[in-house]
Structure 1
Amino acid sequence: MENYGQTKYLGVTRTVKVKNMDEKNIFVTDGFEDIYKMPREYLKENQTVELDEELEVFILNDTDQEVIASAIIPKVQIDRYSWGEVVAVRRDLGVFVNIGLPKDLVVSMDDMPPLKQIWPKKGDRLLLAMRVDDKNRLWGVLATEEVIKTIIKKAGEELKNTNISGTIYRLIRAGSFLLTDDNHLAYIHETERDIEPRLGEHVEGRVIAVRPDGTLNMSLRKRAHEAIGEDAGMIEAYLIRMDGEMPYTDKSSPDDIRSKFGISKAQFKRALGQLMKARKITQEEGWTKIVAMPALVDTEETVTSEDIDA
């Protein structure tokens, strides 16, 4: 197969002119010795070109590793960082990221965490640029700490105890680093989370401290009143499953409560109090009863292949 173009320009943009074209491809030149093939699928939507027209193109490899040109210019390039969305994961190769081109960019498994359960999943996003390996192949490269420092903004004290969200960009044994949606740098210590977030996962939490350097300490744990609400929902769901009553009240033993619901007696009593205040339950003669059972509606669902997680 003929190889159009020089690999030294992989991952960057070039100014070219249209030299020739056929039904499938457009052939462009930089005015010197380099001619690049541009498959028509790499034109912008509804874009048409004319002979001798000057174009700005991006140079990349196609799936056969042939050097081609693209009129679609991605934000992710050599030494140019931007966000890309994860579209697929192959444990034996790496993570495929959509950067706006017909061909996805792969971040090598060598750049992924050692534990595969904290690899990115489809829908997560990564901050990345491109690199060229010694076989002239383009790969995605994750933003380093030095790159992150050029992006972040200092946070003010007014953010303390506020809710924030952002994307996990770095994982270490003791915790996770996050870039907030407003480009603040936050750190989540392992004690401030119930499960370890994935690389590239978008999470929500609260600011527990603003450090002197303008970075944030963040917690993914719920506030006390939010946890109480969650416990109340669990107990209400249990009551519904048990036809509206259960032999557990605020007089039950701590061991029985812990064994059945996995929470402390204090948490249990707070949750019951919330349900009683909402007039959802009553207690009588050692039983807790739901005031009104929700109406049950018979539904028939059709499961298609799209509903099955392959």
Structure 2
Amino acid sequence: MASIGKRNRLPFLREMPPGYFLDGGTHGDVLLPGKQLKQRPAVGALVDVFVYRDSEDRIVATTETPYAMVGEFAYLRVVSVNPRIGVFLDWGLEKDLLLPIREQAVPLREGAWLVVRVALDEKTDRVIASARLNRYLNLAPPPFVAGQPVKLLVTGESPLGYNAVVNHTHRGLFYFSDLTGPLATGQAMDGFIKAVRPDGKIDLTLNGGRVGYGRILPLTEKIVETLKASPSGRLALHDGSPPEEIRATFEVSKKAFKQAIGVLFKAKRIVIEASGIRLP
């Protein structure tokens, strides 16, 4: 079934005016305008497209990619204002993205820039934008560890520093004291997790932890592959195992092993038990 607001690989069905029709599963046939492809695909061939609803509520496809898809945050510009329904944002497609009045945090004018979250409207099944960011930020314990590289989008300044969306899921904070200069709202960058505090709040940094996490990452994959190769999916090693047993199996220190299984556990890739570790 085609996922609205996402990229999909849909089977080609037929060609007829005004373009090509793809198999959208339970959504029915999905129109891809003829100008989107240089040549006609073979019947059944998979076509990589972005799927959304047009102004006439039809499910249509495009080979273009928007600046952000459903579930992602982006910094977008207001290109037009309709006082009755909201404002429209440039998101990289021919059809602009609606930010409804009810989803605006403050009144907006043409030319304004703001951070939004791209979402699927539950009532209309259309792709919309929302400026009510807190509604979409995950409050569950974050699956991050110190030193982990992440994708960041600055959402604004606070009394302590700059807030940023982390990997499109959580909120983090750059402290002024950790920065060499100001950041700008809408600035997208690569950064690192400086710390995850006991209350679940995330501290961010631009230049910390790359070496440490880079050393642990290959070990995490080695542990997972070892578990997959085990008939039971288990391994009789844990954070309390003797250092000699850990080194004999993975040729690393106990400290490195504990860091690696901690990363895997927080990412929900393993389960830690009293007798060892196993796949979920």
How high is the TM-score relative to the length of structure 1? 0.44
